[in-house]
Structure 1
Amino acid sequence: MSQTFHLIEYLTVNRDRGILIWILNIGAEKYWNRVHAGIVDRSEEMTVNRVEEMNLLLCREQDVLILRERPSESYLAHLKRLGFATPTILVPEETDPLTPISELVLKDEQLQKTLSNIAKDADDVYFVPYAVTHLEESIANNCGLQLVGAPSGVNAVVNDKIFNRHIAEQLGLDVCQGKVCHSVQEIRDEYERLTNGEQRFEKIIIKEPHGASGKGLYIIESPEKLSAILARLARVARSHEDAKWLVEGWYLKKADVNYQIYVAPNGEVDVFSIKQQVLRDTVYIGSKAPAELDEVVLEAYHDFGKRIGNYLYSIGYSGVAGIDSIITDDDLIIPIIEINGRFTLSTYISFIGHVLGEQRLYSRYFKLVSDSPCDYDELQRVLQQENILYNQATGEGVLVYTSATLPLRLDASSGSYTGRLFTLILARDWEGVEAYNERLEHVVQHFASLRLPASSR
């Protein structure tokens, strides 16, 4: 890869330069490490796969975006009216809602030939996946593409919560009280120490090394809950001699903060998009930007990001990484709770200001359940009727930024249509954001109640 390539510059000051070939291959964790999927919700998995549309928020006009299905034309037209570019969209010939997108690409020789021709016709072409696994490496090799990101083996190491703690310790950063445990008995002993020690944590969290979106995380608030979880983990320990878990105290927090870093091929580190995350327990439901942090704290986060990025580069990492952190009630910053060595959903909304202008921004997503399908056009009409649809003239309102994740398909197991609503709430100040957010929540609740039969409410 050219040493002059810099993804952030291509997305901001050099938007006319080169061609970026994008793919949002969510679910990469299962290719890096052994991740126990548990009971798979097929309807949920189909919805998650369609978040690939949010990649449109980053694309430039000359770029190429690979999707499993072309978005609705009204959705594309609406984004274009707002100032977002419409790239060339390529769709695999044989597609289905469950097969990972990169597997679909590797099954399509014609699509790979098209990508090869793009690479041959221009020197400045880069392949930018959400994450790099052996699948994306195969696509790059087959098509002669320059791949943006670290080798899959390095990614597997970086996306390990136990290794994340090791990085923090190596850099001398504050870490949560706790330890790495290699047996069920060690977990039990650490629970006793954390809940009965000097700080007396009311809860602890047990973390499996790998997993995303809250999977492999267990919040323990009682001995009874601990016993139930340990029974499950004991089965894992019996079949995996090298099993280990990270056990940490659960802190009362002032803020959950996510900051993104980009490690360029030459080792330059950029810290960008510092956001306050909104979590429900351990599951991400939205972000607020810019983060409501004072200048001293913001400067500290830039320093943390630079140090972490330099460390990652030293072990062969490059590309985007999202870092989750917390600020405790007593103002202690724990800079690394988890490192995602890949894009995160937050990455895709990190450059909205370059299109819509700098505003206060709150991303929210909701799970929607309905007794009939709900498409993008219908939802736009509802938001318009409630007078909260994003208005380009005022720069305020609610913007729905995916269409294919809405309740469009019947979930045979429940008999309902299920999906996710991804929105951006924009306003000049946080009071305005909160006002729109309250009205949006009311619309979502009212909208669902109108469409569900009484027995489902």
Structure 2
Amino acid sequence: MTGTAYTADLKEALTGDREARFVWLCNFEVENQWARGHTGLPAARITTTAATVQRMEELGALLAEPTDHLLLDRPLDPGYRAYAEKTGLGAPTELITRAPAGEDGTSGAVLDSPELLDRLRVLAGGGAYLMPMGNSPLEQEICRRTGLRPAVPGPETSARVNSKIYSRRLTEELGLRAIPGFTCETVGELHRALDDSLRDGGPVIVKDAYGVSGKGLIVLDSRKKADRLLRMVDRRARSSGDDAIHVVVERFLPKRFDLNYQFTIARDGRVRFDFAKEALTSGGVHLGHVMPAALSPVQHESLVAAAERLGARLFEDGFFGVVGVDALLGRDDLVYPVLEINARLNMSSYQGQVTERFLAPGGAALAKHYPLRISAPVSFDEVAHALGDLARPPVDGTGLVVTCFGTVNAQAGTSLPFDGRLYTLLFAADRHGLGDLDRRTTEALHRLGTTERTP
């Protein structure tokens, strides 16, 4: 058995052709491009995980179809490629850049690879599309130089609708239940937002308009911390002569759990609700998903209704494609349908084919990564050996799929030992079964070194 309908459905929505040939580019750091020209929080850019984020582009191997191509700055581990093919999903043709990615990621490396650009021109001549995770001027330039057709809207539209300021304003405009908070585009607005938010006590969170996965985010749980931040912002504004800042300020709400749901807007404006999952997060950092989400029918339908309204408005603003939305279920059992809109592929998107292939009716799945502490780089075959029987594809809705291996060795050379991540999807009949499988996986990975459990 090969393939699922998931990726073919996406191709049909974006191009009208279920058999379209895609060149996938999983540019996880696209927010860095969108953020240019938008002043955020005065904090040092977090770079310790940059190499790991770069290697996450390999997640595209299980979303692409065998007739597709996947742009990478280095080849897949041969053992992992063989494993991907054994899942029954197949694996795409790899297109490797001339040199490892630099500050501009694989997109920049593609533009610096003349032979690869020539190969892309051949694919463009055959009608192929470029399918980036998110579109920025770099991906637009790849299309310009090669003739590849973009499967997504232009970079200006993509940047506009992915701002957290856009998310808040759209939520308020549509009358959806919103997290209490403010949008700030000047230093004065930030002063007023913090004064108002902290007046009643309780922590608030300040987020860059284009921050992602814990970057560009600060939690203020006291007036003293807020004043320290404002002094830094004021000093920078005086020094630059520019009081612009692009952030949102939000209050914390008591919650049962975070949510992530996805919908797809076709080129003709049709909106299809894809799924809803419980999101596992810590300090604003994404850790994984549990599916299906423990929502009542009414709560689920409220997400579907929100998706329809958000999708229609995004389409009016020129966007089509995949939209992932972060939301939460409050402790009061009310659904708050928008924390932020990510109008691009997201972690849940990359799980689509695997989930459709292996999740049994009525079953449960857990997407998570296992932090590893290892003393030397390891091959995928060594990981598979440590996993033992768990390295076999799931049977009857039970088992494990490794969705990204390259992140295991991404930090090799930075220190000894070094930290790695193994991205997985676990399947079982129910959540109790997931817990058992999670424990077995953690114990097996101890053979590689020391593992640390994630929440």
TM-score > 0.5 by shorter chain: yes
Match of 1:448 in 2: 449
> In structure 2, what residue type is equivalent to 1:363?
A
Measured after TM superposition, the shift of residue 43 of structure 1 is 5.4
Residue of 85, 94, 106 corresponding to 1:101: 106
The C-alpha deviation readout for 1:252-289, integer Å capped at 9, x for no partner, is: 11121111121111111112121110001211000112
Q: Distance in 2 between matches of 1:182 and 1:343?
A: 27
Question: Which SS does the other structure have where 2:288 is aligned?
Answer: strand
Matching of residue 75 in structure 1 with residue 77 in structure 2: no
Match of 2:136 in 1: 133
Name the count of aligned residue pairs.
Answer: 438
The change in CA–CA distance for 1:116 and 1:226 in structure 2 (over 3 A counts) is: same
Match of 1:64 in 2: 69
Match of 1:254 in 2: 256
Q: Distance in 2 between matches of 1:71 and 1:45?
A: 18
The worse-fitting range, judged by mean Cα deviation, of 112-121 and 253-262 is: 112-121
**8 A contact 1:43–1:411 mirrored in 2:** no
**8 A contact 2:101–2:108 mirrored in 1:** no
Residue of 356, 359, 362 corresponding to 2:358: 356
**8 A contact 2:370–2:451 mirrored in 1:** no
**8 A contact 2:102–2:108 mirrored in 1:** no
Match of 1:276 in 2: 278
The change in CA–CA distance for 1:408 and 1:143 in structure 2 (over 3 A counts) is: closer
Q: Distance in 1 between matches of 2:256 and 2:436?
A: 22
> In structure 1, what residue type is equivalent to 2:265?
V
The C-alpha deviation readout for 1:81-119, integer Å capped at 9, x for no partner, is: 111212221112333466511111111222122122122
Match of 2:399 in 1: 397
The worse-fitting range, judged by mean Cα deviation, of 348-357 and 92-101 is: 92-101
Match of 1:166 in 2: 169
**8 A contact 1:21–1:126 mirrored in 2:** yes
Match of 1:219 in 2: 219
The C-alpha deviation readout for 1:107-135, integer Å capped at 9, x for no partner, is: 122212212212223x4x32211110111
Measured after TM superposition, the shift of residue 42 of structure 1 is 5.3
**8 A contact 2:373–2:451 mirrored in 1:** no
Q: Distance in 2 between matches of 1:108 and 1:181?
A: 41
The change in CA–CA distance for 1:427 and 1:66 in structure 2 (over 3 A counts) is: same
The change in CA–CA distance for 1:185 and 1:265 in structure 2 (over 3 A counts) is: closer
The C-alpha deviation readout for 1:145-193, integer Å capped at 9, x for no partner, is: 2211111011111111111111011111111112234555654554454
**8 A contact 1:402–1:422 mirrored in 2:** yes
Question: Which SS does the other structure have where 1:175 is aligned?
Answer: coil
**8 A contact 2:87–2:393 mirrored in 1:** no
Match of 1:417 in 2: 418
Match of 1:52 in 2: 57
**8 A contact 1:401–1:424 mirrored in 2:** yes
Q: Distance in 1 between matches of 2:164 and 2:104?
A: 27
> In structure 2, what residue type is equivalent to 1:64?
H
**8 A contact 2:323–2:342 mirrored in 1:** yes
Query: What does 1:119-198 correspond to in 2, within 5 Å?
Result: 119-121=124-126, 123=127, 125-181=128-184, 187=190, 189-197=192-200
Q: Distance in 2 between matches of 1:361 and 1:266?
A: 32
Q: Distance in 1 between matches of 2:223 and 2:46?
A: 30
Question: Which SS does the other structure have where 1:180 is aligned?
Answer: strand
**8 A contact 2:265–2:272 mirrored in 1:** yes
Measured after TM superposition, the shift of residue 416 of structure 1 is 3.0
> In structure 1, what residue type is equivalent to 2:114?
E
**8 A contact 1:6–1:264 mirrored in 2:** no
Question: Which SS does the other structure have where 1:401 is aligned?
Answer: strand
Measured after TM superposition, the shift of residue 144 of structure 1 is 1.7
**8 A contact 1:65–1:87 mirrored in 2:** yes
The worse-fitting range, judged by mean Cα deviation, of 159-168 and 358-367 is: 358-367
The C-alpha deviation readout for 1:180-231, integer Å capped at 9, x for no partner, is: 345556545544543444xx5x211112222111211111222233233333
Measured after TM superposition, the shift of residue 347 of structure 1 is 1.0
Unaligned runs of 5+ in 1: 452-457
Match of 2:373 in 1: 369
Q: Distance in 2 between matches of 1:180 and 1:40?
A: 22
- Percent identity reads 27
The change in CA–CA distance for 1:177 and 1:18 in structure 2 (over 3 A counts) is: closer
Q: Distance in 2 between matches of 1:40 and 1:366?
A: 25
Unaligned runs of 5+ in 2: 1-6
Question: Which SS does the other structure have where 1:405 is aligned?
Answer: helix
The change in CA–CA distance for 1:449 and 1:418 in structure 2 (over 3 A counts) is: closer
Match of 2:30 in 1: 28
Measured after TM superposition, the shift of residue 10 of structure 1 is 4.5
Normalising to structure 1: TM-score of the pair? 0.88
Q: Distance in 1 between matches of 2:321 and 2:359?
A: 26
> In structure 1, what residue type is equivalent to 2:426?
I
